[in-house]
Structure 1
Amino acid sequence: MKLDKTVLALAVTVVLWASAFPAIRVALGGYGPTELSLFRLAVATAVLVAVLPWMKVRLPARRDLPRVLAVGATGMSAYQLLLNWGETHVPAGTAALIMATVPAISALLAAAFLGERLGPAKVVGSLFALAGTVVIAMAGGETGYTLAAWTVLAAAVAQAVYHFAIKPLLRRYSGFEVATYAMVAGTTLLLPFAPVTARAVLAAPADATLAALYLGILPSAAGFVVWGYAVARLTVTAATAALYLVPVTALVVAYVWLGEKPRLVELLGGLATLAGVALLNRRPRSLVTEGDRSAEEVSGVPSVRGTAGPPRG
């Protein structure tokens, strides 16, 4: 029964994070990228703060506040702004395929700044993943689409920086605590946009507001909690493999919900990206150490030598 609950939690996480991409497209029908970013983060923060008494979350130490602010700025504020702006032109499923490059970018950051060694397979995997993204970005042919696709890739970079930057925090705090700190920091940084966001809430159509509320409550807040439950009870291999389903599921949800049909060249680029990430994540079972396992249990993201992160929406 425990396995059934764990698999269910993993499936719920995949669906929640995949559905975020089309939900963003719906919410953008009534909100600009900036207003949606603040609204979503504020809702998610309110939900996380509401459960703090049950999650035993500690206040961060004063010395960690600059890093908390930095991870909130990258993984929350910048990520939301860039992804939302990108999805004004890029279809939801295509955005999910681009975001699948996060593990490859994380691996390159770890090699550049932490001195982690990338073997031939990981180098080839990273190049494949990035090449697939380039194919997707150039597939539109129009300037608006291409610029928006690069903006989604910039969101992937922001998310990769987040996973890279939280590593010192995860030595002292739980994954839920770090996610909460980052969410609060990211929301705070966007508060100057509160007046325009409030006006947008009053003027937006109901479907856009419901989509924005959905994004904050489920993919952003509940997604972290459910994912943490699942990954703490699964092996590295099982958890990582499930995340490959996020962009695939996003394509299906976007087709059912929005009627989006990706072009063949986008699918080919997406396949190259996923193949590259799969090669990047491939490692012998002997390398799945207890240290990797512990890092996953506190961070809520699977690690490839501690570098990968989920393509959440």
Structure 2
Amino acid sequence: MRTGRAWVAGLVVVLLWASAFPAIRVAAPALGVAGLSLVRLATAAIALLLVAPFAHVRLPERRQLPLVLAAAFAGMTAYQLLLNWGELHVPAGAASIIVAAAPLVSVGTAALTLGERLTATQLVGSAVAIAGVAVVCLVRTGATVSTALWVVVGAAVVQGVYHPLTKPLLRTRSGLEVATYGQVAGTLMTMPLLPLGWHQLAAASGGAWVAAFYLGLLPSAVGFALWGYAVARLPVASSTSLLYLVPPVTVLIAFVWLGERPRLFELLGGLVVIAGVLLVRRGAPTVAAEPSVRGVTGDDERLRLVNLEARAVPEVGR
């Protein structure tokens, strides 16, 4: 029964994260890049802070603050700004396919900064996925890649950097705690941009505000919570496989909601990206279990083991 509920939670996460890309296309033109980023981050932060006392969310340690700020800047502030900007001109389906390559950046960053070994299969998978991203980009713009597409590629890069930055935090903190730190810090770092987007926020339609609140409450806040629940109860291979559904589901939602018609080679490029990322995941070296922390037992030990599993599964789009 618990496994069945975990599968349902994982599929709901896929639906929520896939729907985020079309919702951005609805909200960003009206609220502006900075305005949408702030509203979405603030909504998610408030929702998570309301849950925090009931979920026993702890404050980060002082020594963890630099890492919290770095992760929040990359995975929250920079990611939101870049993706919102890029999706002003890039269709939701194409954006989701490009962002699906973010795990490649995570793997490369972990190799450079954490000393994690890259296997031959991972290198081949990275090359395949990059080729798929190139196909999607060229299908959209021909021989040249537009600035907007480069911006979406930048969003994939900063999201990929986010995951290795959170890895040290997840050794002592739960996924929900790390998500709460990121949303709150990301909101604070985005607030100085409010004057740049105030006039668009004031003039935005009700539909754009609904889309923004939806993004903050469901794909961001609820999505993180459900994903933690699913990862804690499913094998790594199963939870990872669910993430490969995000781009095709995004394409379907964008077609129904926005009338976006994907191009054939764009879909083929998306399949190449997913195949490449799958190779990277399959080629990952086996991670030995970390030794138990002295004095940590019972629920804390179970949480530590859950976090070990969660760290092996990068998020694809949100």
TM-score (norm 2): 0.90
**What is the aligned residue count?**
308
Deviation at 1:144, TM superposition (A): 9.5
After TM superposition, list the pairs within 5 Å mapping 1:30-49 onto structure 2. 30-49=30-49
Alpha-carbon distance in structure 2 between the residues aligned to 1:140 and 1:198: 32
> In structure 1, what is the equivalent of residue 307 of structure 2?
298
> In structure 1, what is the equivalent of residue 135 of structure 2?
135
Tell whether the 8 Å contact from 1:244 to 1:274 is kept in structure 2 after alignment.
Answer: yes
Tell whether the 8 Å contact from 1:175 to 1:297 is kept in structure 2 after alignment.
Answer: no
- The residue type paired with residue 113 of structure 1 is T
**Aligned-pair Cα RMSD in Å:** 2.3
Deviation at 1:300, TM superposition (A): 8.2
> In structure 2, what is the equivalent of residue 169 of structure 1?
169
Alpha-carbon distance in structure 2 between the residues aligned to 1:247 and 1:155: 15
Deviation at 1:115, TM superposition (A): 2.4
Tell whether the 8 Å contact from 1:302 to 1:310 is kept in structure 2 after alignment.
Answer: no
- Indicate how the Cα distance of structure 1 residues 242 and 290 shifts in structure 2: closer, same or farther if over 3 A, else same: farther
Tell whether the 8 Å contact from 1:236 to 1:302 is kept in structure 2 after alignment.
Answer: no
Unaligned runs of 5+ in 1: none
Aligned match for 1:312, one of 296, 314, 317: 317
> In structure 2, what is the equivalent of residue 182 of structure 1?
182
Tell whether the 8 Å contact from 2:97 to 2:270 is kept in structure 1 after alignment.
Answer: yes
Deviation at 1:294, TM superposition (A): 6.9
- Indicate how the Cα distance of structure 1 residues 143 and 276 shifts in structure 2: closer, same or farther if over 3 A, else same: closer
Greater than 6 Å deviation, 4+ residue runs: 142-145, 293-296
Identical-pair percentage: 50
> In structure 2, what is the equivalent of residue 269 of structure 1?
269
Alpha-carbon distance in structure 2 between the residues aligned to 1:260 and 1:21: 12
Unaligned runs of 5+ in 2: 291-301
Alpha-carbon distance in structure 2 between the residues aligned to 1:41 and 1:81: 11
Tell whether the 8 Å contact from 2:122 to 2:283 is kept in structure 1 after alignment.
Answer: no
- Indicate how the Cα distance of structure 1 residues 55 and 311 shifts in structure 2: closer, same or farther if over 3 A, else same: same
> In structure 2, what is the equivalent of residue 221 of structure 1?
221
- Indicate how the Cα distance of structure 1 residues 279 and 87 shifts in structure 2: closer, same or farther if over 3 A, else same: same
TM-score (norm 1): 0.92
Superposed CA deviations along residues 165-194 of structure 1, whole A, max 9, x for unmatched, are 111111121111111111111100111123
> In structure 2, what is the equivalent of residue 280 of structure 1?
280
